Copies of this chain bind each other. A is one copy, B any other.
Amino acid sequence: MSTSSAPVRMTRQRAAVADALEGTDEFRSAQQLHETLRTRGDAVGLATVYRTLQALVDGGEVDVLRTEDGESLYRRCARREHHHHLVCRRCGRTVEIDGPTVEAWAAMVGAEHGFGEIEHTVELWGTCRDCREA
């Protein structure tokens, strides 16, 4: 038997998207990445950018989070373990942080109220020094 998972192919497009993510430590939107690639010369269809990002997210390679106005931002994070982010709402610059106590707290509060399958969203937004001075 097999896991019947389709073999994943390495294509120019996938390499390009992955590379664009490697190139920055800021959270970027799919559209920004698409634009970056187009400018850089290795154009990739927008749909493909979205598909690739989704795949990377599913594989835990990339983190996503949503802006206040619903746009998804992607970032290749250093640590694969669960963590949170302090993101500059202006430029996307990001600092990875972990809330050692948050997980436990969330699980406890959930159980306390009879809720199961608890998940939590903890993100910090701010304006980084450079953006404030600009």
Contacts and interface: CB of A to CB of B under 8 A. Distances in A.
A53 to B, nearest CB: 15
Interface string A98-134: 0100000110011001111111111111111100100
A86 interface: yes
A46 interface: no
A75 to B, nearest CB: 16
Interface residues of A, number: 29
Contacts of A66: 66, 70
Q: What is the total number of copies of this protein in its complex?
A: 2
Interface of A is mostly: strand
Contacts of A117: 126-127
A88 interface: yes
B122 A110 contact: no
26 contacts: A66-B66, A66-B70, A86-B110, A95-B113, A95-B115, A99-B105, A110-B124, A110-B126, A113-B128, A114-B128, A115-B124, A115-B129, A116-B126, A116-B129, A116-B132, A117-B127, A118-B125, A119-B124, A119-B125, A120-B122, A120-B124, A121-B121, A121-B122, A121-B123, A121-B124, A122-B122
